[in-house]
Structure 1
């Protein structure tokens, strides 16, 4: 378990992390999200005693990280995959990790197999590794001591889609076996697929936290479309039902599907689509809650406009309807 209580970090007059409190539970993956500069990495560095806290506490397994006997046996940490000695081979990096954690040499080969690094790759120097290969090597080092807790900052950077899928399964299995995972990532779609709980920060303060299923609840209302969109819009407006446009030309309507169906029937307007509203997506919630903390401010995220009563929406391309980005193609060894 990880327990953060009133954790704060100030640099002179600047507050990087401002009185945050949350818990990451065993058997669960906790997603730790926020825009660039929100304080995520600073909080993780305070948790692992790389940066001293101004105030508050960060406990792992009931103790401060620095008070754990041989911390790497209890907590697997990967905060920067690039922070590995470029002159060592991958095998040498893992052999050193095995020595520090008190594990045998056989554990090195076990970890290479687990993270999908071939023996020929392990014999190459880290300076010739791609970012994806360094991520795999870093995760192997984090898991070397058979820890109960994993603290990972952007572990999927540089992995191809197959690698991301593999990592998702690895972390899910770790949590299902009773481990605690605290995961910071910008790949919101992946976090949405794997995380059980969310902690979201902006400007160093928590803006949302809780179970994923509670935060991403189904929106009220429905989605509908009609053959005669102008007549449908007029019918909705006549009874005071609010609606807004979608990229596919349909409408998000602030009323349940049964009521909307009755309104269309009474107005003699055939519907071509009528279903409950979509569930809130993590990307939508992230953009909404962090709009005033992201670089560039809220002007970069334009909310959907209300429609005039005489017509349904013309098509547009809001950010929330864009496909989720995938990570760069995998991990080929540099020449």
Structure 2
């Protein structure tokens, strides 16, 4: 489990992370989302002891990361797959990770196999790896001690579609076995498919959090019709809630039920779709809000 309470980081007058509180629970994948510069990476660095908080706490498995005995044995971390030593081979990189975690050399081969890197690829120098291969190597290093918690920043970056599908399955399996996954990513479609919980951050502050179902809840059926007032009345008579708006109406009836009522009442329907906000729409809205605030501050 990861428990974040009132976590704050200031650099002079600039607040990078502003009093955020959330929990990443065992057995679940938590998506940590927001525009570039929102504070995600700074928050994750505080979780693993690379940056000291100005205020608040970040506890992993109930303790400060740096106070854990052999932290890499309990927490797998991948914050920047491109930061690996270019002169080492993949196998040498993982051997060092295994040594630091107190794991036997046999764990290296198991980790390579787990992430799909062949012995030949493991013998190449990291400087000759593609970004996708570096991502796999970084994930192997995070998993080498079979930790209870994974903290991953953009783990799918550089992976091809097959690699993304593979990673999705791997993290689902890890969480299903009781592990805690905190996943930062800009690949919103992938996060929407894999994460059960979502934490969205903008300009250092949490702007939305909850389960995927809560945040992306389907709010009913949107109906376009020049006869929307009459259609709303007909839907209410049929036992459904219906609220006319300026250009549409929203109802608890399904699309099929709306069509049946409209047909029976000889009313025209010009548009019919389910409501609810997709993750991409939420993300774009956050980005737009950040951009407007930045422009306002720059003009002040």
**For residues 223 and 194 of structure 2, what CA distance do their matches in structure 1 show?**
28
Q: Is the 8 A contact 1:236 1:263 kept in 2?
A: no
Contact map agreement 2:17 2:204 (CA 8 A) in 1: yes
Q: How far apart, in 2, do the equivalents of 1:289 and 1:189 lie?
A: 16
Contact 1:115 1:137 in 2 (8 A): yes
Counterpart in the other structure of 1:236: 228
Q: Which has the higher helix share?
A: 2
Output the CA distance in 2 between the equivalents of 1:203 and 1:259: 41
Q: Which residue of 2 aligns with 1:39?
A: 39
Match of 1:108 in 2: 108
Question: Does residue 1:277 correspond to 2:269, yes or no?
Answer: no
| Alpha-carbon distance in structure 1 between the residues aligned to 2:291 and 2:271 | 36
Shift of residue 281, structure 1, vs aligned partner: 1.4
- The answer to whether residue 145 in structure 2 is matched with residue 153 in structure 1 is no
In 1: Cα distance, 2:221 partner to 2:271 partner:
14
Distance 1:243 1:86 in 2: 60
In structure 1, C-alpha distance between the alignment counterparts of 2:82 and 2:287, rounded to whole Å: 28
Q: Structure 2 length as normaliser, TM-score?
A: 0.87
Describe the SS at the equivalent of 1:5.
strand
3-state DSSP of counterpart to 1:254: strand
Counterpart secondary structure, 1:82: helix
Q: 1:291 aligns with which of 273, 288, 293?
A: 288
Corresponding pairs, count: 282
Q: Normalising by structure 1, what TM-score?
A: 0.78
Distance 1:273 1:34, change over 3 A: closer
For structure 1, the residue ranges without an aligned partner over 5 or more in a row are: 225-231, 245-251, 299-335
User: 2:105 & 2:185 partners in 1: Cα distance?
Assistant: 32
State the alpha-carbon separation in 1 of the partners of residues 58 and 270 from structure 2: 55
1:183 aligns to what SS in structure 2?
strand
Conservation of the 8 A alpha-carbon contact between 2:34 and 2:286? no
Cα distance, 1:285 vs. partner? 2.2
> Matches of 2:161 and 2:88 in 1, distance apart?
28
- Matches of 2:258 and 2:159, distance apart in 1: 47
For residues 210 and 289 of structure 2, the distance between their equivalents in structure 1, rounded to whole angstroms, comes to: 21
Preserved CA contact (<8 Å) 1:222 1:256: no
Classify 1:168/1:269 alpha carbon distance in 2 versus 1 (closer, same or farther; 3 Å). same
Distance 1:204 1:2 in 2: 18
Gaps of 5+ in 2: 233-243, 296-300
